[in-house]
């Protein structure tokens, strides 16, 4: 007897945007529509949707003053469109803390657990939890599944997860968790589908470079080290986040500069990174256009590439060599000059680009003589969430 078609609605809530998509079950999953509401909290918030077959509606004003208003606008669109209602709803939750190593059905107990983790990811968990609550209100009875970005990194060895802090502090869950796990899980799944042996038996670095940015070292298919730590603010320089920061800087700002904890949090997450250095834009495309005439823009780009190259080298050291490097995310996929600047000088580690292939955004951009393969891949967190949600719901 054939298995009935299932429809999976997915939400991927970020600090200033919400992606959403509807999939039909099958092998592979079939996208019915995919959309995004961007610039939440600003007067320029917009809703755009792409339908199966390529038809799209782009850039209509959304009037989303906050995440609740944004979700309500999205639900209003979903309920007005001629598409099947969902059988399952999947959500990306950035942080699963020490409790959740796998996707889980949303229950009151799970929501209570995640509510206690909000201080771990204050920019990301509250918006996602609003989506869960509104889905329960507006689509009552539809099972919901939580997929955690941190789960992929639970395979990291203890020494990679630890901070050099007293045990009572570590017992409170203060450790390195890592993020972008759903993106990395999708990339490995695609690499296996493509027959890339190093995805399961090799030394791989995956570089997710976008508004948020991180890298992960994968050995024999498992995360062994990553750049983000306790929160999504650590590691690489990002669009508006600092990346790694000496804790003495935070103490100085609190004790000597007179900043409040809320002001420090706002600065670290929303006013630093590319925006803070350039004082102009958090968008790499803008900065690349400006760098020839604007020294601050040039410095922001240089710092991003320098820190990325430094972290890449450290991950290769952890792996003991490199077989495959993958660039993904908005910057990783679409900025050849940034890929080139990151890779420049790492020939001693087997990294060498073919600049023609790189400039064309080819699937493989490494030189034929390179010791490691370098790929450019599109990631799809929403499809990963849909697959995990469907798998879990079918087990019920």
The catalytic residues are 149
Would the annotation count 210 as a binding residue?
yes
Distance CA(338)–CA(231), nearest Å, equals 25
Q: Does the annotation list 331 as a binding residue? A: yes
Q: How far is CA 334 from the centre of its chain?
A: 16
To the question of whether residue 284 is assigned a binding role by annotation, the answer is yes
- Does 381 show up as a binding residue in the annotation? yes
**333 annotated among ligand-binding-site residues:** yes
208 is in an annotated binding site: yes
96 is in an annotated binding site: no
User: 212: annotated binding-site residue?
Assistant: yes
Place of tokens 């959304």: 62
The reply, when asked if residue 311 is annotated as ligand binding, is no
Nearest Cα neighbor of 204 from 192, 190, 221 is 221
* Contact predicate 12/385, CB 8 Å: yes
Q: Any known ligand binding at 283?
A: yes
Is 320 flagged in the annotation as binding? no
Cα gap 47→63, rounded to integer Å: 9
Instruction: Confirm or deny that 102 is annotated as ligand binding.
Output: no
53 is in an annotated binding site: no
Q: Is 141 annotated as a binding residue?
A: no
285 is in an annotated binding site: yes
324 is in an annotated binding site: no
Residue 225's contacts (CB-CB under 8 Å, 6 or more residues apart) are 156, 160, 216, 217, 315, 318
Please enumerate, by residue number, every residue annotated as part of a binding site for ATP.
19, 208-212, 283-285, 330-334
Please enumerate, by residue number, every residue annotated as part of a binding site.
12, 19, 92, 208-212, 283-285, 330-334, 381
Please enumerate, by residue number, every residue annotated as part of a binding site for substrate.
92
């Amino acid at each position: 007897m054939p298995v009935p078609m299932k429809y999976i609605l997915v939400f991927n809530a970020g600090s200033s945007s919400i992606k959403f998509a509807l999939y039909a079950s099958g092998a592979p999953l079939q996208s019915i529509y995919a959309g995004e509401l961007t610039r939440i909290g600003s007067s320029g918030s917009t809703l755009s949707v792409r339908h199966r077959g390529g038809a799209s509606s782009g850039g209509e004003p959304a009037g989303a003053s906050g995440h609740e208003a944004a979700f309500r606008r999205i639900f209003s669109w979903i309920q007005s469109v001629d598409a099947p209602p969902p059988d399952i709803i999947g959500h990306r939750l950035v942080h699963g803390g020490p409790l959740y190593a796998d996707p889980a059905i949303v229950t009151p107990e799970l929501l209570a657990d995640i509510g206690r983790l909000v201080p771990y990811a204050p920019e990301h968990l509250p918006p996602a939890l609003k989506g869960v609550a509104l889905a329960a209100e507006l689509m009552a009875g539809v099972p919901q599944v939580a997929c955690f970005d941190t789960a992929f990194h639970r395979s990291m060895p203890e020494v990679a997860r630890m901070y050099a802090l007293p045990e009572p502090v570590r017992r409170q869950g203060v450790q390195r968790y890592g993020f972008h796990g759903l993106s990395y899980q999708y990339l490995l799944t695609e690499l296996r589908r493509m027959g890339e042996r190093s995805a399961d038996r090799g030394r791989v670095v995956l570089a997710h470079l976008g508004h948020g940015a991180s890298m992960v070292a994968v050995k024999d298919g498992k995360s062994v080290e990553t750049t983000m730590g306790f929160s999504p603010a650590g590691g690489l320089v990002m669009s508006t986040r600092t990346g790694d920061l000496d804790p003495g800087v935070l103490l100085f700002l609190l004790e000597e500069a007179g900043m409040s904890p809320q002001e420090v949090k706002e600065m670290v997450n929303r006013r630093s990174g590319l925006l803070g250095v350039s004082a102009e834009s958090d968008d790499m495309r803008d900065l690349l256009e400006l760098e020839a005439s604007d020294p601050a823009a040039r410095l922001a780009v240089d710092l991003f590439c320098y820190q990325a190259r430094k972290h890449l080298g450290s991950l290769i050291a952890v792996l003991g060599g490199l077989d495959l490097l993958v660039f993904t995310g908005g910057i990783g996929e679409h900025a050849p000059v940034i890929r080139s600047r990151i890779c420049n000088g790492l020939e001693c580690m087997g990294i060498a680009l073919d600049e023609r292939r790189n400039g064309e955004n080819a699937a493989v951009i490494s030189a034929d003589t390179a010791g490691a393969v370098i790929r450019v891949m599109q990631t799809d967190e929403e499809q990963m969430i849909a697959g995990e949600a469907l798998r879990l719901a079918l087990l019920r």
